[in-house]
Structure 1
Amino acid sequence: MQVEFYRHSLDDKDVDNVLSVLRSVFLTSGPVGAKFEAKFAAYTGLPHVVALSSCSGAMHLALLALGLRPGDEVITTPMTFIATSTVIMHCGAKPVYVDVEPDTGLLDAAKVAAAVTPRTRGILPVHLYGAMCDMRALAAVAEEHGLFIVEDCAHAIECSRDGVRPGELSAAACYSFYATKNLTCGEGGAIAWHDADKAALSRQLANHGMSKNASGRYHGKYEHWDMVAEGWKYNLDDIRAALLVDQLDRLDGLHARRQEIVARYDAGFAGAPGIVRPRAPGVSAHHLYTLWVDPERRDAILHELKGRGVAVAVNYRAIHTLSFLRDALGHAPGDFPEADRIGRSTITLPLYPKLTDEQIDYVVETVRDVAK
């Protein structure tokens, strides 16, 4: 049996929405993107949403809008995708790593306060695999030290923990709509803000720092635009926004199917020798299903699973061990031992709503056989 790593859940309505945009006036940022922003704001409970071309762009703009400058520091995690660190470096600031919890892989909130220095401006936690960090604890540290929080919610739209949803206790929440995400348009992202002025600034910075976007220049009497700030090209076009608008209405149903799949996986791997399942506190978005295996055998297990038709990935190797970040920040693998151990142990299995029960059972059987 062949089990693909991921298949999207787009349907004919989503395709029709794209065709409608292709037959309309606007292909770039326009009314469809605005409709999605309003619907996404209602879903998240966060009032000001700016749709963008990636979560990386969202985090970059959020940090800029909050005034991050060269020489500043932002506390974050080494167990994440590289963009969580590089967006800090794009601002001329320094990512400062804190190790992760040994049983979840999430940023260890109990260790954050010890990493605060006079140069620390903020905290950038990552809700890994779809499970939320301890935002109440992180918010307490941020308040005590006068820091902002920007949440990396690339894995986390549908989750909650301790009665808190993403973005509720932070300045901004940044989301990804990348090809393998629970809500996808291939490439895309968004920032959700509490502050309307910060949202307006990030929207402007996403469009070259111009005073008017294409939609604003098109409607009504022509008015000259100005460049009022140094900006970037991070806006989301209506073509991709069209894939998101109605898909958002199905998100809770798709999440329910992910929960069913995870429950079937968990039951299948219970008591399996050589396999550890990370703890997922609260309600997870179930973006990824990861297992931790013997790090000395991990790569051999990956290759054997691929050979038996089970597509797998590694999310993630600890990023402080990757060449560029290791050299730029002066880290060694042992600096953050829990993240290093998890990064050398991780296997990510297929998890998407279109998986059949037969495929799930085949994955469980194959993984158990190879891992033992």
Structure 2
Amino acid sequence: MKIEYYKHNLGNEEINECVKVLNSLFLTTGSTVDEFEKSLASYLNTPYAVGLTSCTAALHLALIAAGVGPGDEVITTPMSFVATTNSILMAGGTPVFVDVEKDTGNIDVDLIEAAITDKTKAILPVHLYGQMVDMKKLLTISAKHNIPVIEDAAHALEAMRDGIKPGQKSFGSCFSFYATKSITSGEGGAFTTTSEEAAKLVTKLRSHGITSELAQRVRTGLKTYDVDVLGWKYNMDNIQAALLIPQVGKKTESQLARREEIAQKYRIEFSQAGIEMPREYENSKHGRHIFPIWVDSAKRDKILDYINNQGVGAVINYPSIHLFTFYKNTYGFTEGMFPNCEEIANREISIPLYSKLADEEVEYVIKTVIEAVRA
């Protein structure tokens, strides 16, 4: 049996919406992007959403909007995809890592306050695998030190913890619509916020810093535009937005329900087999983006090879960012600096978790993983 690591959920509804745009005048940023932004903001119960080309773009612009620049420090986690940390450098800042919780992989909020200096300009947590960090505790630290929190919610569109969704209480939240995400446009991202000022600035920054995008000028009759801030080319187009609109809302939740069903099946079977998995928080709704297992680091690569050789797609999420060659050479990071992160990075394997998985495929994944660990 061949089981891919991931399959998207794009179908006729998304294709038809895309065809409408292709048959229209505006392919770039226009009313379809506006519609998507409204639907995403509504789903997340936040007043503002800005469509962008990637979560990396969202992180970059959010950091700039929060005032991060050369000489500023941003506290974050070494356990994430490298884009999280790269975005800090793109904004001119310096990453300051703190270690993660040993039993979840999420940034250890209890370590953050000790890492704050007079150079700290922002805190950038990652809601790893789909579980939100303790935002209540983190927001208390944020308020005490007057430091904005920017959430990397690339894994956590559907998540909630203690009644808080991503972006509802922080400076803003950043989302990914990459090919393997629960809703996708192939590439894409968004920034959500409760701040009108931040939303307006990010909207300007996504299009070179111009004061009015083309669709706005056509709609309002403006003849020209000004550029009053340095911007980038990060604007979501109508084609991407058309693919995303049908996926937001009821479809998002129905597909999450299927992933939750699969995840619970995994957790029961793997627990009985003695396979370790991250602890899951109480009072929390899991986004179920990634399903990780943690195995003996000395055997991890052999276990991964066995799973893949049996036709099951499995990958590693994630290597430790601080041990990448660039970050070691640039900042002098060495092994042992963030032991919990490093242990997880050396033990983790991600297995298939998507709503198109059939029951017999789920059973085969379970059988294969247990065989691999016991081999």
Task: Normalising by structure 1, report the TM-score.
Answer: 0.98
Inter-partner Cα distance in structure 2 for 1:183 and 1:284:
15
Q: Which residue of 2 aligns with 1:367?
A: 369
Structure 1: state its 5+ residue gaps: none
Inter-partner Cα distance in structure 1 for 2:172 and 2:297:
36
Shift of 1:149: 0.2
Shift of 1:169: 2.2
Inter-partner Cα distance in structure 2 for 1:34 and 1:259:
31
Report if aligned partners of 2:168, 2:193 keep a CA contact under 8 Å in 1. no
Asked if 1:326 corresponds to 2:328, the answer is yes
Report if aligned partners of 2:59, 2:87 keep a CA contact under 8 Å in 1. yes
Report if aligned partners of 1:127, 1:153 keep a CA contact under 8 Å in 2. yes
Inter-partner Cα distance in structure 1 for 2:52 and 2:335:
34
Shift of 1:164: 1.5
Q: Which residue of 2 aligns with 1:42?
A: 42
Asked if 1:303 corresponds to 2:305, the answer is yes
Inter-partner Cα distance in structure 1 for 2:88 and 2:222:
38
Asked if 1:346 corresponds to 2:337, the answer is no
Inter-partner Cα distance in structure 2 for 1:101 and 1:108:
5
Inter-partner Cα distance in structure 1 for 2:120 and 2:194:
22
Inter-partner Cα distance in structure 2 for 1:156 and 1:88:
20
Spell out, residue by residue over 1:95-125, the C-alpha distance to the aligned partner (whole angstroms, 9 max, x if none).
1000000000000011111111111111100
Spell out, residue by residue over 1:81-101, the C-alpha distance to the aligned partner (whole angstroms, 9 max, x if none).
101111111121111000000
Shift of 1:222: 4.7
Asked if 1:139 corresponds to 2:136, the answer is no
SS in 1 for 2:149: strand
Further displaced range: 158-167 or 28-37: 158-167
Shift of 1:271: 2.6
Segments ≥4 residues shifted beyond 4 Å: none
Q: Which residue of 2 aligns with 1:265?
A: 266
Task: Pick from 284, 287, 293 the counterpart of residue 289 of structure 2.
Answer: 287
SS in 2 for 1:335: coil
Shift of 1:219: 2.8
SS in 2 for 1:304: helix
Asked if 1:164 corresponds to 2:161, the answer is no
Shift of 1:167: 1.3
SS in 2 for 1:359: helix
Task: Normalising by structure 2, report the TM-score.
Answer: 0.97
SS in 1 for 2:99: coil
Shift of 1:220: 4.4
Q: Which residue of 2 aligns with 1:226?
A: 226
Spell out, residue by residue over 1:130-183, the C-alpha distance to the aligned partner (whole angstroms, 9 max, x if none).
000011111111111111100000000111112221112210011111100011
Letter in 2 for 1:97: F
SS in 1 for 2:75: strand
CA 1:46–1:362 in structure 2 vs 1: closer, same or farther (change >3 Å)?
same
How do 1:1-372 residues align onto structure 2 when only pairs under 5 Å count? Answer: 1-249=1-249, 250-273=251-274, 275-281=275-281, 282-372=284-374
Percent identity of paired positions between Structure 1 and Structure 2: 42
Shift of 1:217: 2.7
SS in 2 for 1:84: helix
Across the aligned residues of Structure 1 and Structure 2, the Cα RMSD in angstroms comes to 0.9
Spell out, residue by residue over 1:5-36, the C-alpha distance to the aligned partner (whole angstroms, 9 max, x if none).
00011120110000000000000001111001
Inter-partner Cα distance in structure 2 for 1:355 and 1:326:
39
Spell out, residue by residue over 1:53-82, the C-alpha distance to the aligned partner (whole angstroms, 9 max, x if none).
000000110110111110010100000010
Inter-partner Cα distance in structure 2 for 1:113 and 1:219:
48
Report if aligned partners of 1:136, 1:169 keep a CA contact under 8 Å in 2. no
Inter-partner Cα distance in structure 1 for 2:89 and 2:343:
25
Q: How many residues align?
A: 371
Inter-partner Cα distance in structure 1 for 2:230 and 2:222:
23
SS in 1 for 2:190: strand
Shift of 1:247: 1.0
Inter-partner Cα distance in structure 1 for 2:271 and 2:259:
18
SS in 1 for 2:248: helix
Letter in 2 for 1:55: C
Inter-partner Cα distance in structure 2 for 1:270 and 1:276:
7
Inter-partner Cα distance in structure 1 for 2:280 and 2:325:
30
Report if aligned partners of 2:99, 2:108 keep a CA contact under 8 Å in 1. yes
Shift of 1:221: 3.0
Inter-partner Cα distance in structure 1 for 2:221 and 2:295:
63
Further displaced range: 338-347 or 141-150: 141-150
